[in-house]
């Protein structure tokens, strides 16, 4: 790895620490657009401890920007002028810190399944001819519940967010990354030289395992719910966690819409996108208003015809 001079900034608004080449002149935070950023003293890249495995970018700035604009346009609910407001100078290629957590699990579940049965019931009714109350019998359906239980095995390789600014939901939405040997960035220093940035991790291995357990427990529960009509409990046992630091490539976009900063993130390898698209008030008003106007017209016409 070539040795280069780097600088790190810390954002007071979102807490992210971002490292870039020493000639980088940041005015706002790449993640949240805040101007409240503090520059830490310059350092040498070699002074930074050994770097973890780093997945390389496959989409360049132009390709990523193009995809974002297509995505903004593709939502019917987005305001028509939104794609035009997305500026390429508000996108950053960031190597985002993460943990890869691999584990085998076994989940024991308990629940119940039901069967529809019929029983003969006695009812009363008034005979319209005689006016008398009479008894009659009828079949009535009811559900009978039977206890059921079982176990299932699962194998997980989760990417756990170690960014101080991105949320786990944002990172999970971009999964998976190809972490094979040929997908790795060969020279991180060279990548920083070309204007890319790297975020310093805010989450340690222990916390990553805790977060992975929570996510996997939720997934296991959902899986068990597909196995049985009514799930009462699911208890997951974890094997030994294998954790490894990894850096994943993410394009971070900030775009202003009517004074509000929105963020979208893109998997720098696959182009998978996640973010909130602003909703056009006019389109929503029209969508609700047109059916209401039609109903009103029908009511008026039917009243006039009486
Ligand atoms: Zn920030």
Measured in Å, residue 36 CA sits from the centre of ligand 1 at 8
Please state, for a pLDDT cut of 90, what percent of the chain lies above it. 58
Measured in Å, residue 38 CA sits from the centre of ligand 1 at 11
122-152, pLDDT tens digit by residue?
999 999 898 899 999 999 999 999 999 999 9
Residues 6+ apart with CB under 8 A from 31: 11, 14, 16, 18, 94, 165, 166, 252, 254, 263
**Quick count: other Cβ atoms within 10 Å of Cβ 224?**
22
Measured in Å, residue 258 CA sits from the centre of ligand 1 at 20
Contact 103, 97 (CB under 8 A): no
Measured in Å, residue 166 CA sits from the centre of ligand 1 at 10
Measured in Å, residue 28 CA sits from the centre of ligand 1 at 8
Domain positions in the chain: 5-100+159-201+245-275, 112-146
Measured in Å, residue 10 CA sits from the centre of ligand 1 at 8
Measured in Å, residue 201 CA sits from the centre of ligand 1 at 14
- pLDDT the model gives residue 2: 57
183-240, pLDDT tens digit by residue?
887 778 888 888 899 999 999 999 999 999 999 999 999 999 999 999 999 999 999 9
pTM (two decimals): 0.75
Contact 97, 200 (CB under 8 A): yes
Q: What CA–CA distance (Å, rounded) separates 273 from 16?
A: 21
- pLDDT the model gives residue 53: 85
Show the tokens assigned to 196.
Answer: 């890319």
Mean pLDDT of 1-18: 86
pLDDT of 290 above 90: no
Measured in Å, residue 54 CA sits from the centre of ligand 1 at 22
Q: What CA–CA distance (Å, rounded) separates 124 from 132?
A: 10
- Alpha-carbon radius of gyration of the chain: 29
pLDDT of 158 above 50: yes
Measured in Å, residue 35 CA sits from the centre of ligand 1 at 8
Q: Write down the H helix ranges in the chain.
A: 61-74, 82-85, 168-174, 188-193, 205-225, 281-305
Contact 58, 180 (CB under 8 A): no
Measured in Å, residue 198 CA sits from the centre of ligand 1 at 14
24-68, pLDDT tens digit by residue?
888 899 998 888 889 888 777 764 556 788 899 999 999 999 998
Burial of 229 (0-12, 13-18, 19+ CB in 10 A): middle
Measured in Å, residue 37 CA sits from the centre of ligand 1 at 8
DSSP at 183: G
164-182, pLDDT tens digit by residue?
999 999 999 999 998 888 8
pLDDT of 255 above 50: yes
Measured in Å, residue 118 CA sits from the centre of ligand 1 at 63
- pLDDT the model gives residue 297: 79
Chain-centroid distance, C-alpha 190: 30
Measured in Å, residue 174 CA sits from the centre of ligand 1 at 20
- pLDDT the model gives residue 231: 97
Mean pLDDT of 116-126: 93
Q: Write down the H helix ranges in 2-91.
A: 61-74, 82-85
- pLDDT the model gives residue 248: 94
94-113, pLDDT tens digit by residue?
999 999 999 999 999 999 99
Tokens 């949320």, located at residue: 167
Measured in Å, residue 39 CA sits from the centre of ligand 1 at 13
- pLDDT the model gives residue 295: 76
Measured in Å, residue 15 CA sits from the centre of ligand 1 at 6
Measured in Å, residue 52 CA sits from the centre of ligand 1 at 23
pLDDT of 76 above 90: no
- pLDDT the model gives residue 296: 78
- pLDDT the model gives residue 217: 97
Measured in Å, residue 34 CA sits from the centre of ligand 1 at 5
Residue 288: pLDDT band (50, 70, 90) is low
User: 157 pairs with which residues across the strands?
Assistant: 102
């Amino acid at each position: 790895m070539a040795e280069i001079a780097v600088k790190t900034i810390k954002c007071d608004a979102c807490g992210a620490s971002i490292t870039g080449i020493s000639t980088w002149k940041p005015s706002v935070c790449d993640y949240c657009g805040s101007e409240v950023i503090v520059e830490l003293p310059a350092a040498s890249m070699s002074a930074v401890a050994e770097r973890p495995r780093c997945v390389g970018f496959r989409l360049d700035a132009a390709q990523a920007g193009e995809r974002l604009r297509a995505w903004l346009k593709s939502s019917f609910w987005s305001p028509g002028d939104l794609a035009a407001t997305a500026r390429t100078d508000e996108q950053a290629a960031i190597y985002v810190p993460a943990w890869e957590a691999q584990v085998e699990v076994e989940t024991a579940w308990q629940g119940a399944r039901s069967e529809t049965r019929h029983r003969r019931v006695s009812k009363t009714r008034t005979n319209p001819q005689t006016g008398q109350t009479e008894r009659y019998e009828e079949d009535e359906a009811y559900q009978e519940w039977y206890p059921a239980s079982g176990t299932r095995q699962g194998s997980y390789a989760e990417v756990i967010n170690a960014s101080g600014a991105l949320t786990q939901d944002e990172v999970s939405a971009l999964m998976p990354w190809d972490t094979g040997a040929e997908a790795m960035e060969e020279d991180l220093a060279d990548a920083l030289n070309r204007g890319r940035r790297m975020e310093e991790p805010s989450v340690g291995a222990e916390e990553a395992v805790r977060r992975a357990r929570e996510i996997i427990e939720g997934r296991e529960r959902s899986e068990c719910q597909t196995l049985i009509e009514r799930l009462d409990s699911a208890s997951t046992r974890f094997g030994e966690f294998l954790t490894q630091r990894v850096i994943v490539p993410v394009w971070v976009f900030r775009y202003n819409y009517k004074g509000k900063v929105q963020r979208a993130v893109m998997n720098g390898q696959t182009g998978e996108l996640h973010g909130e698209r602003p909703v056009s008030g006019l389109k929503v008003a029209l969508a609700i208003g047109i059916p209401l106007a039609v109903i009103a017209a029908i009511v008026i016409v039917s009243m006039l015809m009486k």
